[in-house]
Amino acid sequence: MPASTDRAVAVFKVHPAILSVAALGALLLQTFLPLKLPLARLMDFPLLITIYFALLRRDKMLGMALGTGLGLLQDALSHSYIGIFGIAKAIVGYLAASASTRFELESLGARSVLTGGLVLVHDLCLVALQHVLLEAPPRFQPMATASAVLVNVALGLVIFQILDRFRRPA
Amino acid sequence: MFDPNSPDLTRPIEALEHDGPVMPPFVKRHRSFFTLLAIVTAQVLLLSLQITRNNHVRLIRYWAVEAFDPFERSLGGLMNVSSTAYRTYRHLWRADQENQELHIQLVAAQSQIQRLGEQAAETQRLRNLLDFKNQLGFQTLAAEVIASSLGNTSSPGENSNAIFIDKGSDSGLTADLAVITPEGVVGKILAIFPHSAQVLLITDASSGVGVTLAQSRVQGILKGSANGLCDLHYVMNEEVVTRGEAVLTSGLDQVYPKGLPVGTVVTVGDGNIYKTISVKPSADLNRLEMVLVVLKPTAAEQQALNLPLRRQ
């Protein structure tokens, strides 16, 4: 649903503690859950948190900062080079905030489409970075990507519903 | 953690863009995009510090080398060209310097060769003179020709009929002493000075030498003429004189010892009473350098003067 740029859009806020708990929880789940649940390898909790708060605040700077911070922490907790997830999530945060200023994203459908698109962009960014910087052969796997998109969209709808409970108008 | 809240409940889309410091309108309008670029760039640099390639070379170093390599190559090429040009210039400069030095050395060497050649020639002349002196049965004194008293050039003897030698009364010379060379008679001392003497050449019109023709033994008086030759006077027409005949001193003039070569008959002709005979002097009077002055004979030598010249 396109949103006109000359009209007022709703901006929400959450308590900083909620944001902190959500970010921390996402990092913890991203670290430990794949050890117990193989399907969790497809999930990206920090990515969903980045998308949610970027959409919530409709602020590109905030989206980029949150994406970068969560991405760098995710890199630090993994064995990957520090910066890979940071770059991908910074781009996703920027795109999410940009989309939120143009589209009405309160509906589940719009959120699902946008989340799916951003998960795809995130995955493509990772593939591109690994190929360019690490000289790894392009390993874009459509099925795995589609699975990740579906899983994260489904997970995102749940997480977004949970976090919506803590938001209030700014 | 940052505070995601703001006091606004609702605000226009344009108000979502942050106000910031003064910056170009384009940058201000896309500030968030440039911020994203900065964040991505910073993280790429961070990654380049961690990623290694080709034997653990860090990616940032790899990129830096790749980025600077063309410039370094260009600079290296420029330096090589400059260095080559400078070396070439230096070599040319050195070659020019060496060329100049060698040219100077060549001139000096040529001058030295010429000087040595002259010294060798002079040595040879002196040796000949010494040999000639040793052959003579009378005392002589070697002298060097230093100037001519007549003539229009600086060359001693040329177009002149008198010369100066570097020995004078201090060396025991007196007037009317004979001056000779190994080739033949030169003249006699006309005037004497303390350190030099003037010699009247046999080609001078006022000179006179008592001579004898070597084959016919006819005697006469040799006098100078204008063309550098001498005229033999007082030889009767009936005498047989052949062209090319040698002319020797007769010793009758009491100046020149007997038997010294004077010249060679070049032309012979009959006159009214006497023949007209031209004699070319044996000595090259235009190129005199060293001469011998025949000293006054002692009493013991006086008798030897009447003897023919000793020949070895």
- Interface contact B16-A16, CB threshold 8 A: no
Residues of the domain holding B239: 140-290
Nearest to B36 among A19, A66, A90 (CB): A90
- C-alpha distances (whole Å) from A98 to each of A114, A118, B218 are 11, 12, 146
Which residues is B290 bridged to in the sheet?
Answer: B144
How many CB pairs below 8 A link A and B?
Answer: 103
- Interface contact B11-A11, CB threshold 8 A: yes
Say if CB B289 and CB B174 are below 8 A apart.
Answer: no
Question: B36, B51, B57, B60: which to substitute to probe chain A, counting the most A Cβ within 10 Å?
Answer: B36
Nearest to B35 among A10, A13, A61 (CB): A61
Say if CB B192 and CB B166 are below 8 A apart.
Answer: no
Does B154 lie in the same domain as B48? no
Say if CB A145 and CB A122 are below 8 A apart.
Answer: no
- B63 lies in some domain: no
- B94 lies in some domain: no
**CATH architecture type of domain A12-169:** Orthogonal Bundle (1.10)
- B116 lies in some domain: no
C-beta pairs of B102-105 under 8 Å, 24+ apart in sequence: none
Q: Which residue has the higher pLDDT, B178 or A2?
A: B178
Total count of domains within chain B: 2
- The pLDDT > 90 percentage for chain A reads 51
Taking 50 as the threshold, does the pLDDT of residue B90 lie above it? yes
Angle at B254 between CA B216 and CA B238, to 5 degrees: 25
Interval A102-116 mean pLDDT: 87
User: Which of B120-134, B150-164, B261-275 tops mean pLDDT?
Assistant: B261-275
- Interface contact A62-B14, CB threshold 8 A: no
User: How crowded is residue B261: how many other Cβ atoms within 10 Å of its Cβ?
Assistant: 21
Question: pLDDT (tens digit, 9 = 90+) per residue, B148-181?
Answer: 765 444 444 445 588 999 999 999 999 999 999 9
Chain-wide mean pLDDT for chain B? 83
Does B146 lie in the same domain as B286? yes
Question: pLDDT (tens digit, 9 = 90+) per residue, B208-259?
Answer: 999 999 988 999 999 988 778 899 999 999 999 999 999 999 988 888 988 9
- B86 lies in some domain: no
Q: Which residue has the higher pLDDT, A112 or A7?
A: A112
Distance from CA of A83 to the nearest CA of B (A): 5
Candidate from A23-32, B246-255, B303-312 with smallest mean pLDDT: B303-312
Does B176 lie in the same domain as B43? no
- Interface contact B4-A133, CB threshold 8 A: no
| A95: Cα separation from own chain's centroid | 10
Q: Which residue has the higher pLDDT, B298 or B1?
A: B298
B310: pLDDT confidence band, cut at 50, 70 and 90? very low
Nearest to A6 among B7, B12, B53 (CB): B12
B305: pLDDT confidence band, cut at 50, 70 and 90? low
A122: pLDDT confidence band, cut at 50, 70 and 90? very high
- Interface contact B9-A23, CB threshold 8 A: no
Q: What is the pLDDT of residue B59?
A: 82
Q: What is the pLDDT of residue A40?
A: 86
Which residues is B232 bridged to in the sheet?
Answer: B222, B277
Two structure tokens written together for B280: 């070319």
Q: What is the pLDDT of residue B266?
A: 93
- B59 lies in some domain: no
Q: How far apart are CA B165 and CA B171, in angstroms?
A: 11
- Interface contact B5-A82, CB threshold 8 A: no
Interval B126-138 mean pLDDT: 82
Interval B20-33 mean pLDDT: 76
- B121 lies in some domain: no
B307: pLDDT confidence band, cut at 50, 70 and 90? low
Residue of B nearest to A23 (CA): B1
Taking 80 as the threshold, does the pLDDT of residue A109 lie above it? yes
- Interface contact B1-A19, CB threshold 8 A: yes
B11 touches chain A (CB under 8 A): yes
Interval B289-311 mean pLDDT: 68
Task: Tell me A2's DSSP state.
Answer: B
- B125 lies in some domain: no
Taking 60 as the threshold, does the pLDDT of residue A5 lie above it? no
3-state helix, strand, coil in chain B (%, to 5): 40, 25, 40
Q: Which of B197, B299, B301 is nearest to B258 (CA)?
A: B301
Interval B178-196 mean pLDDT: 92
Taking 80 as the threshold, does the pLDDT of residue B42 lie above it? yes
Residues from chain B contacting residue A68 (CB–CB below 8 Å): 39, 43
Q: What is the pLDDT of residue B249?
A: 93
Taking 80 as the threshold, does the pLDDT of residue B300 lie above it? no
Q: What is the pLDDT of residue B8?
A: 47
- The pLDDT > 70 percentage for chain B reads 84
- Interface contact B7-A170, CB threshold 8 A: yes
Q: What is the pLDDT of residue B149?
A: 60
Interval B49-67 mean pLDDT: 81
Interval A125-150 mean pLDDT: 85
Q: How far apart are CA B42 and CA B65, in angstroms?
A: 19
| B185: Cα separation from own chain's centroid | 35
Residues from chain A contacting residue B53 (CB–CB below 8 Å): 135
Distance from CA of B67 to the nearest CA of A (A): 16
Residues from chain B contacting residue A18 (CB–CB below 8 Å): none
| Chain A residues whose C-beta sits inside 8 Å of any chain B C-beta | 3, 5-11, 13-14, 16, 19-20, 23, 53, 56-62, 64-66, 68, 72, 81-84, 86-87, 90-91, 94, 97, 101, 129, 133-135, 169-170
Q: How far apart are CA B61 and CA B145, in angstroms?
A: 92
- Interface contact A101-B16, CB threshold 8 A: yes
A112: pLDDT confidence band, cut at 50, 70 and 90? very high
Range B12-23 burial, b when 16+ CB lie within 10 A, else e:
ebeebbeeeeee
Residues from chain B contacting residue A135 (CB–CB below 8 Å): 53
- C-alpha distances (whole Å) from A150 to each of A29, A44, A147 are 18, 12, 5
CATH of the domain at B279: 2.40.10.340
Q: Which residue has the higher pLDDT, B68 or A155?
A: A155
Q: How far apart are CA A83 and CA A87, in angstroms?
A: 6
Backbone angles phi, psi at B23, to 5 degrees: -150, 165
Q: Which residue has the higher pLDDT, A28 or B27?
A: A28
A150: pLDDT confidence band, cut at 50, 70 and 90? very high
Q: Where are the domains of chain A?
A: 12-169
Q: How far apart are CA A132 and CA A126, in angstroms?
A: 10
B38 touches chain A (CB under 8 A): no
Q: Which of B258, B177, B244 is nearest to B212 (CA)?
A: B258
Question: pLDDT (tens digit, 9 = 90+) per residue, A58-75?
Answer: 889 999 999 999 999 998
- B311 lies in some domain: no
Say if CB B162 and CB B138 are below 8 A apart.
Answer: no
Chain-wide mean pLDDT for chain A? 87
